[in-house]
Homo-oligomer: A and B are copies of this chain.
């Protein structure tokens, strides 16, 4: 290490898949790295829906960022929110808590990997009513609220139908997985546990604007997924648009314009994507524009136009494609973010080492997977499309393989084995995150 010259200071915002891979890949670069996240943990986001339905515990799919990087000594992890970004001064501002002082964090290179939220298509007032399974906290809230719905149905005969109707909006992978899990919870796990109600009478509706479930998968996988959903007791409403969400009902409109009202106190939102507010923060700092989904455009090497020391990646960006007219939006999948994270680290490594710039980023699609329920899944691996038990086993192996931390893998595997054979779910607790659920009604 050259001690005469100061090492490069790299700041990475976001400890999701992209940020985590970037920091890891920077370990051989002569740089002091600061990783900033609002949470103290990395979340294995693809399994969040399993926390939301009690199959896994929060600690099974989340690992403290400090723990991940405890041996990478030039990495410091800071927990807080980035509230400002000065691209001229090369400095971001961190707030540890709303009331605490601003902490300036200078950088030589900046990687922004803020991810995305769900979009309510202009109806942000629905956000306070609907449930989401994006973060760990929201998943715990969903868990409490779903379980509480059965408790409330047991106690209030007059409200029974609306408590026992679950509406999932959006039939992408998360929506399909949530609908499948709620159906299995109601029709399997809870079957014998109530005396006044029969949880098997619970209705699970999956509402989708488009004409297929899992539309990002190639035929015949959407059809097979639809069949699996039907078998486990999910009613799919295709070509239906949500026009109203309130505390005790949802109104949907079919493509022919007819409206229908669904009495429900449980709406899970899994539709639309809105980039992290960090994209807007960055756009404002660079005097750039975001697109309708709030994404910022980056060059083919993930650099911010005009700011070669700033890179952005993941769900919050569109990537310039030299072969196409428009910048491309890649699917919001973990592999995309992970590959971009490693690529971004490479761009910085080259710049720090004084080497020539890397070739444009290129996505290597290794396949996509979605589960529907126990032993039911669909898989598309390099054009090989399969479903059922083989797809589910593939899904299982891939997810265990990518889970970080030995203890997590071991415990998740044993929980899955347990519930596979017994149908049980070990984490059916209504904790404080779900409190106030009834007050809204």
Chain B residues in 8 Å Cβ range of A156: 96, 100-101
Chain B residue at minimum C-beta to C-beta distance from A410: B414
Query: Nearest Cβ in chain B — how far from A37, in angstroms?
Result: 11
Assess whether A343 is interfacial by the CB under 8 Å rule.
Answer: no
Contact A428–B103 (Cβ < 8 Å): no
List A361-390 residues whose CB lies under 8 Å from chain B: none
Cβ-based interface call for A195 (8 A): yes
Q: How far is A430 from B57 in the complex, measured between Cα atoms in Å?
A: 14
Contact (Cβ within 8 A) B411 A407:
no
Are B71 and A192 neighbours in the complex by a CB distance under 8 Å?
Answer: yes
In the complex formed, the residue of B with least CB distance to A189 is B67
Is A272 part of the contact surface with B, judged by Cβ < 8 Å? no
Query: Given A96-B152, A100-B156, A407-B418 in contact, is the A137-B432 Cβ separation under 8 Å?
Result: yes
* A154→B64 contact, CB < 8 A: no
Contact of A193 among B67, B80, B432 (CB under 8 A): B67
Chain B residues with CB under 8 A of A418 = 407
Contact between A137 and B70, CB atoms less than 8 A apart: no
* A249 in contact (CB, < 8 A): no
- Judged by a CB distance under 8 angstroms, whether A439 is at the interface is yes
Indicate if the CB atoms of A192 and B426 lie closer than 8 Å. Answer: no
Knowing A70-B192, A414-B414, the reply to whether A140 touches B432 (Cβ < 8 A) is yes
Q: Is the CB of A78 within 8 A of B414?
A: no
Q: A389–B28 Cα gap in the complex (Å)?
A: 43
A155 CB within 8 Å of chain B: yes
Query: Nearest 9 pairs between A and B by C-beta?
Result: A97-B438, A59-B427, A66-B193, A137-B432, A76-B195, A79-B151, A57-B57, A57-B59, A64-B428
